[in-house]
Amino acid sequence: GAVVSQHPSWVICKSGTSVKIECRSLDFQATTMFWYRQFPKQSLMLMATSNEGSKATYEQGVEKDKFLINHASLTLSTLTVTSAHPEDSSFYICSAHEGNYGYTFGSGTRLTVV
Amino acid sequence: GESVGLHLPTLSVQEGDNSIINCAYSNSASDYFIWYKQESGKGPQFIIDIRSNMDKRQGQRVTVLLNKTVKHLSLQIAATQPGDSAVYFCAEKAGSNQFYFGTGTSLTVIP
């Protein structure tokens, strides 16, 4: 089946620094990937849709300058949390769509900003 | 987004019993639905899906029921096992590629 690899699985960073999260489709090409954010004991909130070779589409209320998305190839999308603050601490999850296997999720990245 | 996350409701069942997890979706135009299972600290795992032209679909030990009239989705797990303990989310899609997740239900299986 389709596999989506997300890295890192856990990152702790200092307030004010930037963190990059990678999402890779390992055995398929994904023209579209999705980034979600999840707070403890809450549901997944769609942040943005990442389109290969074009700008990401952000959901209402998500700051595009804060959460930079780059989808430079058919197998890699990155989410960069810029100038991170403690309120950005969350679980970030990516997913990708592959025609035969549907929507597959990465294992998530737990970001802790101290 | 179409559905907003809230604090999770919980469901506790005895091992071996059947579980029913419910989900109310918000967009009457949604035409594709998926149930996901999420274990602590991990990403969601696909369980079963259903399209809006169906009202029931069965998998291994799981059945999804769709009632479009009241915009309700349910997941039935037969003979629930301790390994089924997790948070379960329904997700809806309406034409576009984006999925929007429901509130989620935390299932605890009591041995």
Contact B11, B106 (CB under 8 A): yes
The whole-number pLDDT of residue B2 equals 43
Q: Which of A38, A41, A45 sits opposite B1 (nearest CB)?
A: A45
Q: Is A7 exposed, middle or buried (0-12, 13-18, 19+ CB in 10 A)?
A: middle
Contact with chain B for residue A26, Cβ under 8 A? no
Is the pLDDT at B1 greater than 60, yes or no? no
The overall average pLDDT reported for chain B is 89
Contact A73, A52 (CB under 8 A): yes
Q: Residue range B35-57: average pLDDT?
A: 93
Least confident of A11-15, A90-94, B100-104: B100-104
3-state secondary structure of B86: strand
Residues present in chain A in total: 114
Task: Give yes or no for a cis peptide into B111 (omega within 30° of 0).
Answer: no
Is the pLDDT at A21 greater than 60, yes or no? yes
Asked whether the beta carbons of residue B101 and residue A93 sit closer than 8 angstroms, the reply is no
The whole-number pLDDT of residue A101 equals 61
Identity at B93, one-letter amino acid code: K
Cα–Cα distances (Å) from B81 to A41, A46, B17, B63, B109, in that order, read 22, 31, 8, 15, 7
User: Which residue, among A72, A75, A100, A107, has the nearest Cα to A2 in the 3D structure?
Assistant: A100
Q: Residue range B14-39: average pLDDT?
A: 93
∠ CA(A29), CA(A30), CA(A31), 5° rounding? Answer: 120
Within 8 A of B4 by CB-CB distance, chain A residues are 43, 45
Asked whether the beta carbons of residue A103 and residue B34 sit closer than 8 angstroms, the reply is yes
b vs e for A18-45, b when ≥16 Cβ sit within 10 Å of the residue's Cβ? ebebbbbbeebebbbbbbbbbeeebbbb
Q: Is A65 exposed, middle or buried (0-12, 13-18, 19+ CB in 10 A)?
A: exposed
The overall average pLDDT reported for chain A is 91
Predicted confidence band of residue A31 (pLDDT cuts 50, 70, 90): confident
* Radius of gyration for the alpha carbons in chain A, expressed in angstroms and rounded: 13
Chain A interface mutation, best of B49, B90, B99, highest count of A Cβ atoms under 10 Å:
B99
Contact with chain B for residue A110, Cβ under 8 A? yes
Handedness of CA A5, A25, B44, A62 (dihedral sign): positive
pLDDT in tens, A47-61: 999 888 888 999 999
Q: Which of B7, B44, B100 sits opposite A105 (nearest CB)?
A: B44
Predicted confidence band of residue B3 (pLDDT cuts 50, 70, 90): very low
Is the pLDDT at B6 greater than 60, yes or no? no
Q: Residue range B2-26: average pLDDT?
A: 81
- Greater model confidence, A18 or A52: A18
